[in-house]
Structure 1
């Protein structure tokens, strides 16, 4: 994988129109206090990708899950303490990995600019780099988030589930100030990564009283998933890639969705509303329009204000 500066990246400047979402954030926040922070984080993410091609999907999902619970405050990164279970140990996050990439980035940044850069900003920047280094767009990340001190595993129940229908998805996104357009654009993040059988079992076994398999799913695709994920699956890490190019950030997700080859119920749900279906078709036709919409929605989501109050010295624990 080439370094970030060598990749042909699509740079889209749309942040100015939505910075009001969180007025405290600024693209130039560390211009004086830690000018090289972004290049340091990009190098760490790149190194992580060389060692593990699943790192980008993990970082993108980690950032999404962080912002959707308490706002973007890095509460996702805190370790559980005693009987107090943190977000990272909540059921939807058990399969999350690559926390070491953020921890490594934090150590490198602390050497250079001690006590200046928040873990929440590092996570937002790492998620951007994960997309860019996978062949997707890049963008200017507004910075200035503070780290939160509260992290509860029970709060992960607030995350949108892969079994959600369109009205449940709309409500979940709306509660966070995100629109149906944002929903479709951010769902494109499913172009990266892998899912365990448990997250799509509902579509390929006992779908309803009439049929075993979700009729909206392509029959040959469903058959292949049933082979990998039998009814009483005993293979621990069995599952399927989210699209046919799981390490490349492209618009393949939307193309497959139109063919009935999406993994989750929440993906297929985008085909059940005229508004969202039209956007799926638009993004399947134009990767450039997908990139532009994704960048705009990512900046909007990553600007959801958290209740952070500090700059954590170690992303895994609150300051004393």
Structure 2
């Protein structure tokens, strides 16, 4: 473990030049924080937290997705203002804010007003993916932070668990992301973490008000889930990835599970059978390079609606605008 961590930090210290997207580019902070390597500092803070909480990976992946899908990747989800995105129902279980605060506090000590909160989210998420045995991907940086955070915008822009595959593909398309990106991002996000019973109880007992279970669910999985999740409700949870041994790894185990009809929430299972996504799911279930493809989709997600140059600001605190 120590050797792997040391190797990861050495990789983080490599200088990245020459590749950019608009005003985003790899290695944007090289030389901007004195002799300090910004990405290395964030990695170290995330790695320390990961030792104590492996679910941190799922939390950060969700945090980045929920930020980028509302107003773009501008850290609007971090703002503590009246009626903010944080207060929206879809964001009620989003977490990881304190970890972003820790990164920001350290960087403000070293180079005040340099590193944006929006970039911290993206860099911290990449660090967590690497710690969960995912592939390294070269994040682009240079984002600036937005001023506005509105709960209704989160409610209207974030896809819900009961969304149809067609509507999800359209929603991602509106952000410049393809159907393949949608499958990769959903599968990568659900390759780690947990899902509480309340979010899929209807599939176990009263699917579409039928009084029966969702017929698309594997019968053994249904029996297992019902033991964990009684119809009367509970605070229990199941792993988002139902491939044994893969629960906390960013790998293709999720796709293997849904190929066996072990999807937890409805949209997970629907991508396995829908004509818009089935071929991609099947390919990824047997792929040897899922992790690198997922990294590419994360880079594309990180480009959505970014503020750069003189747009926005670099917040001194991720929770409030500068005054």
The normalised TM-score by structure 2 is: 0.89
Alignment of 1:117 onto 2:115: yes
Deviation at 1:10, TM superposition (A): 11
* RMSD, aligned CA: 2.4
**Secondary structure of 2:25 counterpart:** coil
Closer, same or farther in 2 for the Cα pair 1:28/1:160, shift >3 Å?
same
Q: What's the counterpart of residue 155 of structure 1?
A: 153
Deviation digits for residues 183-212 of structure 1, max 9, x if unmatched?
111112210111112222232121135561
CA 1:271/1:85 → structure 2, altered by over 3 Å: closer, same or farther? same
Bigger shift: 264-273 or 40-49? 264-273
Query: In the alignment, does 2:306 pair up with 1:301?
Result: no
Whole-Å separation in 2 of the counterparts to 1:32 and 1:291: 30
Gaps of 5+ in 2: none
Superposition pairs for residues 10-21 of structure 1, below 5 Å?
19-20=20-21
SS in 2 for 1:279: helix
Greater shift, 48-57 or 200-209, is seen at 200-209
CA distance, structure 2, for counterparts of residue 9 and residue 180 of structure 1: 35
> 2: distance between equivalents of 1:100 and 1:129?
16
| TM-fit CA distance, 1:68 | 0.6
1:182 Cα offset (Å): 0.4
Partner of 2:179: 180
1:138-188 deviation digits (Å, cap 9, x = unpaired): 111110001011111222221011111111111111111111010111112
Counterpart-to-counterpart distance in 2, 1:155 and 1:197? 27
CA separation of 1:104 and 1:10: change in aligned 2, threshold 3 A: closer
State the Cα distance separating 1:241 from its structure 2 match. 1.0
Question: Secondary structure of the equivalent of 2:269?
Answer: helix
Paired with 2:223 and 2:322, the residues of 1 have a C-alpha distance of 51
**What is the Cα deviation at residue 96 of structure 1?**
1.7
Structure 1: where are the runs of 5+ without partners?
none
Structure 2 residue corresponding to 1:132, chosen from 118, 127, 130: 130
Distance in 2 of aligned mates of 1:264 and 1:9:
39
SS in 1 for 2:207: coil
TM-score in terms of structure 1 length: 0.90
Q: Give matches, 1:68-107, under 5 Å.
A: 68-79=69-80, 81=81, 84-107=82-105
CA distance in 2, matches of 1:56, 1:91: 21
Task: Write the distance in 1 (CA, Å) between the matches of 2:8 and 2:205.
Answer: 42
The structure-2 alpha-carbon separation of the partners of 1:19 and 1:198, relative to structure 1 and needing over 3 Å to count, comes to farther
Cα offsets for 1:248-276 (capped at 9, x unmatched)? 11111000010000111111121233342
Residue 139 of structure 2 is matched in structure 1 by 141
When structure 1 is superposed on structure 2, of 49-58 and 265-274 the one drifting more is 265-274
